[in-house]
Structure 1
Amino acid sequence: MVTSFLIMAVLAGQAVTGGSPPVTVEIVASGHVETPADRFRVSGNVLACGATKAEADAALARKVAELEASLRAIGVTKAQPLERPSLAGMMGAMSGTRGSYGCNTVDLKDLLASPGAATKPKPAERLGANAPVSFDAPSRPVAMRAIAALTAADAKPSEKPLAILIDDTTARRAAKQQALTKARQEAAAYAVSLGSGPATLTRISEKQDWNSTDFAGQMVRMIGLAASAPSDSVATDVTLTVEFSLAER
């Protein structure tokens, strides 16, 4: 009896409103903008050696301080934290670590020059301390000078600087507006195809997953970064899931 009453109520409601309930359309749209970079990031890893861990740590602190001072002299500063996880952060993390093996390598030329060197007692093993470093330069030419300085300090820098935006809020908002415009256009096309009334926006979601256009776009750029021509612009990708209600005309 209750079920029959509910069915009758639904049918009565549809009759009052003119028939079928509104159609819900969920549209995934993306926006892409290119913005001139405001910094150029260079990353590397500094290694220092010592007879003890304390000695290696102290040597590392001196080496990093000297490197920072020399880079400040050409207008390069320690990297500022970015607003959100980004390609720049991923590239910096990929600089990795360097173990003590770097403090105990034997030059092959020395072995060849001294045939008996391989049989001599090995020197005491030295310990290493390392630290990842990232710096921001105001332009690409200055960033290339920073890379040269890091190379001279055996800091294993990236081959190319990475163009970044310290604050990408404006760029992301522009990309969102672009995505929203696309979603509205698609919803309007659905309304025409279905012969319904105007599309009413009911929900917007920025939630993303590993399959999102944002993440995929960053990964594609990271993989192609080494082979691509240097760019002084930063690409910003945003994906929105937008829901519309299409009422019957």
Structure 2
Amino acid sequence: MSNSNASRMRTIFRSKTSKTLDRIEDPRETLDDSYDQQVKLLQQVRLAVAEVATAKKRIELQGEEMGRRYQRLGSQAAEALAQGREDLARAALERRAMLEGQVAQLQQQYTALDRQTAQLQERERRLTDQVAAFRIEKETIKATYTASEAQVRANEAVSGISSSIQDVGSSLDRARDRVQQMQARAAATDELLASGALTDLTAAPDADIERQLAAISAQAEIERQLQAMKGGAGPARSGDSGTGWLSIGQQGSAPQS
């Protein structure tokens, strides 16, 4: 094969290789793929917001039911004592004290979910803004690239510029687009990682001693309330039925009439 034929074959090979790479690494398709990935991540964050809000509502309904039972047990204790059934009054107050502890745990869960909901909503807002900004930038780059590509082809058709110039320009365009793509993906990933904080639920040391001391204090409180009821005072109340469950155990424990 002569040198001229070999040079011609190398030129044809480089031209076909460049066109193949352009089809495989079309920056417009790369930008669209990156945008689709960010939209999927945003949808995942929105789904997480909905799930946390659902869990929060479930706890709220459970707390309202506990609040109604809390009030009902107080009324039952007062009615039993009025009928001379101190044993029934004591049993009602014991159940009431146990329920108050359960409500306290529920209040902690409700507060944690409320804080997590606010954090996820903030992440969602920021990620939504980022995705919207990326979409605008993506469409601008695509339009600019398409216009530049058309101009290059027109100029080549008129002036017969060699394919090597086009290869250099395409390589630069692909490199810039890949950098922008990775920056956008990195920003979106940071937001998702930041929203995945877990709450440490492990028990503190000496938790068994704390529980025993709490049980002793609770029994002493029941005895105090029982003595107060014998003196004519009713069990402590906290808010309207159902709606005041968040305030149970938050105010002073002295019985009120």
With the length of structure 2 as denominator, give the TM-score of the two structures. 0.27
With the length of structure 1 as denominator, give the TM-score of the two structures. 0.27
Higher strand share: 1
Higher helix share: 2
